[in-house]
Amino acid sequence: MPVTLFTSDRFADHLTPPGHPERVERFEVMAAVAAAFGAGGGDVREPRAATRAELNRIHGAEYLEMVAGTAGRATALDADTFTSPDTYDVACLAAGAAVTAVEHVLAASGDGSRDRPRRAMALVRPPGHHAEANRAMGFCFFNNVAVAAAHARANGIERVAIVDYDVHHGNGTQWAFYTDPSVLFVSSHQFPYYPGAGAATEIGSGSGTGFTVNLPLTAGATDADYELVYSRVAIPALRQFRPGLILISAGFDAYMDDPLGAMRLTAGAFGRLTAMIVAVADECCDGRVVAVSEGGYHLQGLADALRETIAALDSAAGYSPAADIVTNHAGRGEATLRSVVPALQPYWQL
């Protein structure tokens, strides 16, 4: 099997207050999916924790000290983001799982073998894509996917692409690389919505102008709306960028029944989007893809979407979603194209 999963029972040790959507039961779903994958012959491995130096590529030293200072106690870092006694260690492990997955994929690609795994997924909590350089927010402490991207760059990958299909915009990831032309950030998300970032006009700045690609979709977007904006914008930009590695912020809260989103994606849509991304990786970067879990708060939807995503990573060429794609365009995709394409056409052939 070409995909390797990285996860740990420690991800159940981050606790949140009663009624919080980012609850331990989410990891119980991830653990069950990973266990079934392993029982079927899949490769499931324990990750290592991120080092302070690896975290410091994205987060400021004072911020890291502040989060480390919460170890052993329960605190509120904002209205939504809470620590428990083990949270600091678990958050370091979540970032480390993303880093470990990158190391695994790069090592497999560098050994000269054509049949070694070149895809991996980190099943982690807490999520990471809202965490900014000096700020925890949106249930996130360290930006797992950004730390992984910086690690890949530090280990010789000249261009890294990040695709984020969580229902919420990955503001922390965007700002980490907003001026950096070596990292292409693509985000599809409900807009306007939390955290307020991700407008079509946010395309990067300075030498990074054009390397942030936002695909804001209004509430109610379907599988077909997502497929439209990916096929017309995200996939062409990825192909033209020709990354050496693609990272996926794999959030599943755009699922139709998720309590924190208002989109209408089926579980199969996440597999289809993943397969589209993997196809680009097969063309551009020897198949190197690392997915890192983000949101997803409807437990059955999380389980189904995870299985679809892993299946797409495992056999993208022959992947077909378990459920038929919702083919009716709700008009959201066309509206997104009207706002996005003019902003990006100076930088990409769309």
What value, to the nearest 5°, has the Cα angle with vertex 183 and ends 179 and 184? 100
What's the token pair of residue 331? 């008009």
In a domain, 97, yes or no: yes
* Structural domain contains residue 211: yes
Please give the radius of gyration of the chain, using alpha carbons only, rounded to the nearest integer. 18
Predicted local confidence at residue 325, as pLDDT: 53
Task: Provide the residue count of the chain.
Answer: 350
Is 294 part of a structural domain of the chain? Answer: yes
Contacts of 199 (CB under 8 A, 6+ apart): 191, 214, 216
Tell me whether residue 296 is in a domain.
yes
Query: Taking each helix axis from N to C terminus, what angle separates 144-154 and 87-109, rounded to the nearest 10 degrees?
Result: 40
Number of C-alpha atoms within 13 angstroms, CB side, residue 242? 2
- pLDDT given for residue 316 in this prediction: 57
Domain of residue 252: give its range.
Answer: 3-344
Q: What is the CATH number of the domain that holds 83?
A: 3.40.800.20
Quick one: residue 286, left, alpha or beta (phi over 0 = left, psi -120 to 50 = alpha)?
left
Cα–Cα distance between 210 and 302 in angstroms, integer?
Answer: 32
Residue 132 lies in a domain: yes
Asked whether residue 111 is domain-assigned, the answer is yes
Structure confidence at residue 241 (pLDDT) = 98
The pair of structure tokens assigned to 294 is 């983000």
Confidence (pLDDT) at 104: 97
What string of pLDDT tens digits covers the 350 residues of the chain? 589 999 999 999 999 999 999 999 999 999 999 999 999 999 999 999 999 999 999 999 999 999 999 999 999 999 999 999 999 999 999 999 999 999 999 997 655 555 555 899 999 999 999 999 999 999 999 999 999 999 999 999 999 999 999 999 999 999 999 999 999 999 999 999 999 999 999 999 999 999 999 999 999 999 999 999 999 999 999 999 999 999 999 999 999 999 999 999 999 999 999 999 999 999 999 999 999 999 999 999 999 999 999 999 997 556 666 555 555 666 899 999 999 999 999 999 99
pTM for this structure? 0.96
Q: Provide the number of structural domains found in the chain.
A: 1
Contact assessment for residue 99 and residue 111, using Cβ atoms and an 8 Å cutoff = no
Q: What is the pLDDT of residue 328?
A: 65
- Evaluate whether residue 349 is within a structural domain: no
Is 130 part of the annotated catalytic residue set? yes
In terms of DSSP bridges, do strands 82-83 and 75-76 run parallel, antiparallel, or are they unpaired? Answer: antiparallel
In a domain, 350, yes or no: no
Catalytic residue among 14, 104, 129, 130: 130
281 close to 246: Cβ distance less than 8 angstroms: yes
The alpha-helical segments, DSSP class H, found in the chain are: 24-39, 52-56, 61-68, 87-109, 144-154, 171-176, 223-229, 235-241, 267-284, 299-314, 332-344
Rounded CA separation 337/300 (Å): 31
